[in-house]
Amino acid sequence: MNFFRRQITVARVLGIPVRIDYRWFVVFALSAWVIAASFREGTTMTQFVRLGLGAAWGAGLLTTFALFLSIFGHELSHALLARAEGIESDEIVLHPFGGLTRLRSEPDNPRAEFRIAIAGPSASFIIGVVALAGFYVARLSGFDALAAALSIVGFWNFTIAASNLLPGYPLDGGRVLRAFLWKRSGQLEDATRVAGLGGQLIGGALVVFGGYFYFFWRDPFMGLWLALVGLFLFDAARAVTRRRKTLRTAGDAMTAPVSVEPDATVGHLIDHVLPAHRREVFTVARDGRLHGVLTLRDLKDLPRERWHLTRVRDVMRPVAQNLFVAPSTPLARAERLLNENGAGALAVVDDRGQLVGLLLRGRLKRRADAKA
Which residues form the interface with Zn ion (CB under 5 A)? 120, 164, 172
* Cα(102)–Cα(8) distance, integer angstroms: 15
Q: Are 335 and 206 in contact (CB under 8 A)?
A: no
Residue nearer to Zn ion on the CB measure, 151 or 164: 164
CB of 61 to Zn ion, least distance (A): 25
Write the DSSP assignment of 248-282 as a string of letters: -BHHHH-B---EE-TTSBHHHIIIIITTTS--SEE
32 in helix, strand or coil? helix
| Between 91 and 282, CB nearer to Zn ion | 91
* Cβ distance to Zn ion smaller for residue 46 or 164: 164
Comparing C-alpha atoms, which of 66, 93, 67, 68 is closest to residue 79? 93
Residue 370 CB, nearest distance to Zn ion (Å)? Answer: 10
**Please, what is the minimum distance in Å from the beta carbon of residue 172 to Zn ion?**
4
Closer to Zn ion by Cβ: residue 3 or 307: 3
Shortest distance in whole angstroms from residue 140 CB to Zn ion: 33
Q: Which residue is at the shortest CB distance from Zn ion?
A: 120
Which residue lies nearer to Zn ion by CB, 95 or 317?
95
Tell me the C-alpha to C-alpha distance, in Å, between residue 144 and each of 48, 50, 134, 135, 136: 7, 9, 11, 9, 10
Query: Between 128 and 257, whose beta carbon lies closer to Zn ion?
Result: 128
Residues with Cβ within 8 Å of 51's Cβ and at least 6 positions away in sequence, in order, are 39, 40, 59, 145
d(CA 177, CA 170): 10
Q: Which amino acid is at 243?
A: R
Q: How far is the CB of 174 from Zn ion (least distance, A)?
A: 10
Nearest approach, Cβ of residue 265 and Zn ion (Å):
53
Q: Per DSSP, what are the bridge partners of residue 255?
A: 358
